[in-house]
Chains A and B, each alone.
Chain A
Amino acid sequence: MLLTKINLCYTTKALQTFLILFNTLIFISCKKEVISPDNGQKKLSNEFRERLYAELLKKDETRLLVNKLPSSEKLDWERALIRISSNISQPINYELPIVAIDGTCKRVIEFAFSKDKELVNIRLREFNAELSKRKSTIIPLSENERTNNILHFLSKSGLKIDPSITSAKGEKIIDTKSPSKISNTTIALPTKSSTTTTRKYVELKPSNSVQYTYPRPPMPDTVHCATTVDYDFYFDFGRLVPESQSLEIASTLNYFFFQHLNAQGLPYGDDVRYRNEIYFLNNYSPVEHLENIIRDCIYYAVQSTQGYYADYLWGSGIQYMNINSQSNCVIVPEPIDYSMTEAEATIYINSLENQNTGDGIEFYLLALYRASKILNLSKFSVANNSIQAGPYTLVPHYSSSNQLVFFAATRYGNKGIEYIIRADNLANFQSRVSYYTAAADLFYLNGIPSEGQVMMMTGDYFNGLLNLWSNSLKSPEYWLYLGTLYITGSSNNSVKNSVLRTVKNDISASEYTFTQTAEAHLGDIVKRGANAGQMSRPYMNSPLTINQIMSTGPGIPDATFPGGYNWRVPGNFRGSNGSWELGINPQTKVIYHFNFTY
């Protein structure tokens, strides 16, 4: 009889493409029937073992090992090990465990074979490893069940899954919480006849009449991970099958590995390029759980393979196992409603105070930006009694208790709400609507400002910030907004002074330049009165105003200033009619005179 012994070495690559190292030993079978030392009754299960036993009897003349083991120990022929030795003269060893009554194994009988496949030595030696005691009770999932569980997990990650898919009525229920601990929980499913399963948990569609009490697994929705687990291991055993069937063991091992893995109900994938890698989509950050799953899969595959070839394969033991994992996780915030409640929005609007003008009139976009939560104006009810102020339509907004909270100012175009006007500031807006119109024209000069521009604009309100920006902000929008600050008026001196310093320092950023004398007075501020603290001539930083003046006509050539042209056109500034006076060289864009006079 041909006796073939196989050593399987699973190194770093692939359960599916196992590297199989095998050595073939050919022995002449002994036809003598040998009685097993186990109770002296059981027959050895194969000829190889019979051969070994015969050799053992030959060597063990005193029968110390074969017949005179103490009652607390016995030879375990089922879990005999085959080792590949580094000793060239005895490269292959077969180790027969001597197992104590408590299951421990401290010594083995070693059968050493030469490279010529001759048994050359039998000896007793110490054994420091641990024999596997695992027995799998895993019930594999069907592919359909696994698919359902994967969809369930994906649905937890925010994907929309058809409820009919995630409802697996009457199917096996998978314990995803602790796959290594099999629960025998009985669950009543919404059918007339209850179904008993050996596992628990699957996403079930709630019924109108039945409330399920089984717990959901602890899967925080705030963490989504992609975890890669890579593994390699080594074990060996002997078998009594034709050599041509060697690879069959590998594929069998592979089958049992994925059978166990599928039974976990976890969504996973494997990359064909790296067959010893499994990656999971897990909703929890600890990866030890996943490593344990892979470890269980390996044990399960080895033991199941041994069981599958029970009569032809013996010797087991995982000699080496290495499992590593790496997780890439993202934390997704809980879906919290960040919108202000009506009460919060009311408080916010009532406390609305333009830090520049000191009034309760603010650009809607700036109010939105400053709000700690989303300012949702739809919380308020709108009445039909809108008010017209200049080009603006002011729509009153009421709280649920019918209290007038604010007006939303809109006008032509698609800019939406431009201003939020606190209820008590209606008269202020109406009386100065021309100012606010001009300010909004500047604000929306290039369309609706981007978030970054809004951020920049709101930043103007904070003391000292402008100084930090004085050398960095060169965008036209910034200068335009400076104009809006002082067209609408300001009451915050510290802010204004900060702006003024910035204006003086950074006037070169403007499209236009001034004569030395004019530039020296760009930062003049009003000392007292209603406009105290404001720039005396804010329009000097407004290219829009300059362009508008120049667009009224060709201008009158100046008699002295080289290339200079003068304009004097009617206009409005700070609510009063007067004349814009501009002296400029249009070619060099040097302004030598700019004033608004009454």
Chain B
Amino acid sequence: MKFEAEFDGHCVQSIIRYLSWEYSLDTYPPILEVDFDLALNMLNLTVVDQYIVQIWGHLGAVKTNLSKLGEPNFRSGKLRVLGEFAEGFSYRINSNNLPVYFDEYSGWICIGDQKLEREGIEFIKNCVAFLNNDGSLSSVWLKPIFVDK
């Protein structure tokens, strides 16, 4: 699955929250009308008009996989998924789950490769994607607001 970063300086201005008691991530306000979804681990990336506009779902093993993560380098923009996808379906980005890391000091969560060799794209506020050279997804970095019950 290929992606394209459009650095136009305008990302989705939503709030990403992590609900600690149920190990889930959501985006507020939610977007309920979708074209299709992409699946990353147990997370759903909502796609509307070919752009990823939302992320939500179960994200376990956050605080158990502590790691010293660097500060990602990114610019805001839009993350576009390439290719044709039928609406109403959910497409898995990776056949296997990507590793999850959490830096409790910086608050960043990394899903995927934690190496920071390229410039990321912040497609949702505090949500950054890093792409490989071939346009495939390398990692997603999140800095949610942790919410306890």
Tell yes or no: B30 within 8 A of A by CB: yes
Interface residues on B, range: 20 to 34
Q: Is the CB of A592 within 8 A of B22?
A: yes
Q: Is B58 an interface residue (CB 8 A)?
A: yes
**Complex contact B58–A576 (CB within 8 A):** no
Which residues does chain B contribute within 8 Å of A530, judged by CB atoms?
A: 86-88
A593 touches B90 (CB 8 A): no
Given contacts A534-B88, A559-B61, contact A592 B23 (CB under 8 A): yes
- Shortest distance in angstroms between B46's beta carbon and chain A's nearest beta carbon? 8
Q: What chain A residues lie within 8 Å of B23 (beta carbons)? A: 560-561, 592
Contacts A516-B19, A516-B22, A517-B24 given; does A593 touch B35 at CB 8 Å: no
Q: Of the 9-residue stretches B2-10, B36-44, B131-139, which lies at the interface with chain A?
A: B36-44
Contact of B87 among A515, A527, A597 (CB under 8 A): A527
| B33 beta carbon closer than 8 Å to chain A | yes
With a CB–CB cut-off of 8 A, which chain B residues contact A576? 89
Contacting residues of chain A (496-520) with chain B, CB-CB under 8 angstroms: 515-518, 520
CB <8 Å contact, A592 and B24: yes
Do A525 and B33 touch (CB < 8 A)?
Answer: yes
* A42 contacts partner chain B, Cβ-Cβ < 8 Å: no
Whether, in the assembled complex, A258 has its beta carbon less than 8 Å from a beta carbon of chain B, the answer is no
CB-defined contacts of B58 to chain A, threshold 8 Å: 515, 517-518, 561, 583, 592-593
Q: Which residue of A lies closest to B37 (CB)?
A: A536
Which chain A positions have C-beta within 8 A of B22?
A: 515-517, 561, 592
* Chain A contacts for B56, CB-based, 8 A: 517, 520-521
Cα(A337)–Cα(B90), bound, Å:
52
B34 engages A524 (CB within 8 Å):
yes
- Assuming the A-B contacts A517-B24, A517-B26, A560-B60, are A524 and B89 also in contact, with contact meaning beta carbons closer than 8 angstroms in the complex? no
The reply to whether the CB of A526 lies closer than 8 angstroms to some CB of chain B is: yes
Q: In the complex the two chains form, is B24's CB within 8 Å of A524's CB?
A: no
CB of B74 within 8 A of chain A? no
From B25, B32, B34, name the one whose CB has the most chain A CB atoms within 10 angstroms: B32
For the complex formed, measure the closest distance between the CB of B69 and the CB atoms of chain A, giving whole angstroms. 19
A300–B46 CA distance with the chains assembled, in angstroms: 96
CB-CB contacts below 8 Å: B79-94 with A: 86-92
Residues B35 and A526 in contact, CB atoms below 8 Å apart: yes
CA gap between A527 and B88 in the complex, in Å = 8
Report the minimum CB–CB distance from B83 to chain A (whole Å). Answer: 12
- Our count of residue pairs bridging A and B at CB distance below 8 angstroms stands at 110
Judging by beta carbons under 8 Å apart, are B32 and A558 in contact? no
Check A560/B64 contact, CB under 8 A, given A516-B19, A595-B44. Answer: yes
Complex: chain A residue closest to B147, CB-CB = A516
A residues 566-587 in Cβ contact with B at 8 Å: 573-574, 576, 579, 581, 583
- With A and B bound together, what is the CA distance between A95 and B56 in angstroms? 109
Interchain CB contact (< 8 A) of B89 among A518, A528, A598: A598
CB contacts (< 8 Å) of B60 on chain A: these are 558-561, 564
Question: A529 an interface residue at 8 Å Cβ cutoff?
Answer: yes
Answer whether A521 and B32 are a contact pair too, CB < 8 Å, given A536-B88, A597-B91, A598-B91. yes
Partner pick for A529 among B35, B42, B57, B91, CB 8 A cutoff: B35
* Contacts A515-B22, A517-B22; A525 near B32 (Cβ below 8 A): yes
Interface assignment of A204: CB less than 8 Å from any CB of chain B: no
Distance from B18 Cβ to chain A, minimum over Cβ atoms (Å):
10
Partner of A597, one of B33, B34, B39, B86: B39
CB distance from A565 to the nearest CB of B (A): 12
Is there an interface contact between B34 and A526, defined as CB atoms closer than 8 Å? yes
| Given known contacts A517-B56, A560-B61, A527 and B26 CB-to-CB distance under 8 angstroms | no
Q: Give the docked Cα–Cα distance between A71 and B24 (Å).
A: 121
- Please determine whether A527 and B89 come into contact, CB atoms closer than 8 angstroms: no
A-chain residues with CB within 8 Å of residue B88 when the two chains form the complex: 526, 529-532, 534, 536, 574
The 5 closest A-B pairs by CB, nearest first: A529-B87, A560-B60, A531-B88, A517-B24, A526-B88
Given A517-B57, A525-B32, A592-B24, 19 more A-B residue pairs with CB atoms under 8 Å apart are A516-B26, A517-B22, A521-B44, A526-B35, A526-B87, A527-B34, A527-B35, A529-B87, A530-B88, A531-B87, A532-B87, A532-B88, A536-B37, A564-B60, A574-B88, A592-B58, A595-B39, A598-B90, A598-B91
Binding site for B on A (CB under 8 A): 515-518, 520-521, 523-532, 534, 536-537, 558-561, 564, 573-574, 576, 579, 581, 583, 592-593, 595-598
